[in-house]
Structure 1
């Protein structure tokens, strides 16, 4: 059966854009998209023009949802008409599961479950209504005990955000009753479908994430901004569907609704959520809506079913909505990263975001399992076409399956939390492959369970970091309870045969040396970055030269080496400015590098030219890169060194240590300068050379940009990873 997805929209341009993008990932083979545009003033029509001719676009001149739905039905050419709100995001299999409910010819409509803005909790599962529009929620159709026959007092009410009907049935009953501008419009249709002798079904697996965008009737906090239309609809519905002899009960129900809703508005006022003027206005609108609804029921006892007037003179051809990739060509992939978005600048977090969004742009179904921010609740959301699952970070668990090696309690609990979420994704959305980083082994339970095909990406490990972490070396408790356990577990998983994905040849060699292992069969795919714009911006001010450092203030990142080199350079070169970006939060055993430096050089005349900025937003960091002339990161170890690629994007002179993956990015004297790692004097000498030689800086900067364009773009990385993940799926199969 062919399906038509109808979306009615009014001034929700950005939410609508997200919804339309989500439709590109539906798996159902034959569907079209009909968008009915209300009297919008927010640029929605201009945005929708970018989707033409892939969608059918119609217009509704007033803010009447029933009229808009009727216009959409008239434009539809599918056998099934599925309604989706303009702030709803369907799961990829949503339409498949809805259409499957029409196996019997007597089924007139099928609805699905709706998750609220958290992506986890249900806004609605099975909703049963009576003839007054009052509803009850149930977890399953069996417990709801609906009775679908004429004269029923209990029937499924399919929520408009996730409902569907046979187009022939909608035409038979005359479509939506345009007395309902908003609220109970779909409930009215459901009852009339049942009265016409058809059955209604619920497909719990057909799920939609409802984002609750603000509208002309409610704000972003879901507080009402107007009660007129809901009150009018409620009164009208009660009187329209009262069975013979129930008219007095219907009027009493309307009076009770009015009293209850007035009380709710007073409660909102007492809670400080609305002011007195808003309270009084809403109660007045409520009263007028009830009066008008009662009158409408008397004047139009059969309703206003005007679907026929919107039918075109000739039938419209079905217009298939194009997918980016056909379902059989897609990867269903989960990436694991402790941090994701929200300003995360760590190498694994940046890499995960670029890979996830890059693969999603190519049409793959991508999920990310990450940690929720401290103090926040778990959520599931769609961000740039990626399903982002933010899970809580437990510190302990009694879970023991699948078995894991001896791990620190919090790491162990995190492994199981990731595994449990992966099971949920696999059961609901399907998973072909899980990719997880070696750091913290967050995907270890997924790998050892035997239930998933997995890939482990190689980055800096505990074993590689240990020589450069004096706070670990000096603390016997940290060594025994954390570091030694993690190194042993890393060795175990490296020997397990899990497929390995490396970011550099150097990290492979270093891991082989550190763990005494062969790494045959590992694949190297260098990291890449998106293009923030080529070319070098002017220095901070005419005649000045700016050196930029980006990284945590810790021994492994070599901040001590740079702070040792700065005084001599700054004293000798008055045009020199140093900008140091990163978190200065000393951990146990680490120095307060910023505090000690400022204390030691408090009287230095050049101190005001050394600026400690703290962490920066992504936008501010881009500006810092654009404003610098020289970028330096004197790390004692980097498995790859993504920050050097980041500086190369902006065509900067890059200086780094001759170690790890850095030496694969920088060819000394060609597209950057290398120095002996851990040597402050060598660092100072290389900085001095770059500072004093403007032609050299210009040459190195141009070459850095060229190297980025040829070897390290995000598109190239994603293309290589797409091929690699497909290969791993075939090999695992």
Structure 2
């Protein structure tokens, strides 16, 4: 592994500095954005810098700059979309480590401290944490926990202890800034743009980062937790189907960039181990068990259909339909690196 420019200062006793980046693109999420900012500002270990990257929404930029004290508000200087906004935040950040928090998520009080602890090991290029769903209208009885990635959250089947992982979920992840820049950042042809539901830009980036440095690792720290808002509009069958299909399309795009083996390594375990255990559990349940079983089967079938379609047609982003509309304050959450 080549020398990491951040390693020597850390080993010399200086802890890494931290920039937290929040990206937002709509006024509809203003209350959630304020909560996200406040959660970062109340950390037990304060971040040295908090950046809000506004993705081509001048009204939001003006309001945030006038209201959110202690926040550096900047416009997305790259192409529209989450990848461009994250790349803008990375380029403008001053911290050794850049952490990303979704604009509809809130961080636990010890979030920054838990993330930064993982960088004591020089082999660690990034640290990600747990994303808990906050169901505003309650969790639907039919919604299988193995598919919580549909709403951008950690799912049943992920590691329960800290350790190495292939990729992170986008709502809660951090990287050494120097390595992120050296790798070229997030691919602008992957990821969400407004209501376009494609994702997996985090998965592709994580694969690319570790491929550059044999022996490097990405560390999952479940005690570094955030809560991710799940509005009622994301709890219906139409949203569930649309997200699964979009995930399949996105995974097909990742295989073209990263190759099938690394792009689908975690998915094979998920399909052959996690889903069957979920089906067995659902069959033992009463009440919503049959509907949960149906959701598991439907989710797999639709995701595989999306993947097959993407592989056969190389679906263009412009050909992908937007997600079903959600109430104000919502919008497509995206699963980040899941499953």
TM bucket, shorter chain: 0.5 to 0.7
Q: Tell me which of 162, 166, 169 is aligned to 1:156.
A: 166
Q: How far off its partner does 1:65 sit?
A: 1.4
User: Tell me, what secondary structure is at the counterpart of 1:175?
Assistant: coil
Structure 1 residue 176, shift from structure 2 partner:
0.7
Pick closer, same or farther for the CA change 1:62–1:221 going to 2, 3 Å.
farther
How far the C-alpha of 1:46 sits from its partner, in A, is 3.8
* Shift in alpha-carbon separation, 1:241–1:30, aligned structure 2, 3 A: closer
CA deviation after TM superposition for structure 1 residue 193, in Å:
1.6
**2:196 is aligned with 1:186:** no
Distance apart, 1:113 and its partner CA: 1.2
Contact 1:81 1:167 in 2 (8 A): yes
Deviation at 1:138, TM superposition (A): 2.4
1:286 positional shift = 5.1
**Kept after mapping to 1: 8 A contact 2:61/2:75:** no
Q: Does 1:117 align with 2:131?
A: no
Q: 1:67 to 1:61 in 2, by over 3 A?
A: closer
In the other structure, the counterpart of 1:36 is: 53
Q: Which residue of 1 aligns with 2:228?
A: 210
Structure 1 residue matching 2:83: 3-state secondary structure: helix
Match of 2:218 among 168, 184, 200: 200
- Do the aligned partners of 1:113 and 1:206 also contact (CA within 8 Å) in 2? yes
Query: Which of residues 132, 137, 146 is equivalent to 2:158?
Result: 137
TM-score by length of 1: 0.29
Structure 1 residues 115, 173: CA separation in 2 closer, same or farther (over 3 Å shift)?
A: same
Per the alignment, residue 235 of structure 2 pairs with 221
Normalising by structure 2, what TM-score? Answer: 0.60
Find the aligned partners of 1:213 and 1:38 in 2 and give their Cα distance: 22
Distance 1:286 1:61, change over 3 A: farther
Q: How does 1:171-320 map to 2 (within 5 A)?
A: 171-182=181-192, 183-197=199-213, 198-213=216-231, 219-221=233-235, 223-224=238-239, 230-242=247-259, 290=310, 294=314
Cα offset, 1:164, TM superposition? 0.3
Q: Is contact 1:15–1:86 with CA below 8 Å preserved after alignment? A: yes
SS at match of 1:137: coil
CA distance in 1, matches of 2:45, 2:72: 16
1:411-422 to 2 correspondences below 5 Å: none
Structure 2 unaligned segments of length 5 or more: list them.
1-15, 140-144, 150-155, 193-198, 272-290, 292-301, 317-339
Question: Residues 34 and 58 of structure 1 are in contact (CA less than 8 Å); yes or no, is this contact kept in structure 2?
Answer: no
Is this contact kept in 1: 2:252–2:307, CA < 8 A? no
Cα separation, 2, equivalents of 1:24 and 1:236: 37
Asked if residue 9 in structure 1 is aligned to residue 24 in structure 2, the reply is yes
- Written as runs of structure 1 = structure 2, the 5 A alignment for 1:537-548 is none
Judged with a 3 Å threshold, the aligned counterparts in structure 2 of structure 1 residues 293 and 25 are, in CA distance, closer, same or farther, namely: farther
Separation in 1 of the partners of 2:34 and 2:120? 32
RMSD: 4.0
Larger radius of gyration: 1
1:300 corresponds to which residue?
none
User: Hey, what does 1:72 align to over in structure 2?
Assistant: 89
Match of 1:83 among 68, 77, 100: 100
Offset, 1:2: 1.1
User: What's the secondary structure of 1:77's corresponding residue?
Assistant: coil
| Paired residue secondary structure (1:101) | helix
Equivalent residues in 2 for 1:244-643, closer than 5 Å:
290=310, 294=314
CA distances 1:216-258 after superposition (whole Å, capped 9, x unpaired): xxx34365295685444221112322258x99x99xx9xx9xx
Residues 39, 61 of structure 1: 8 Å contact kept: no
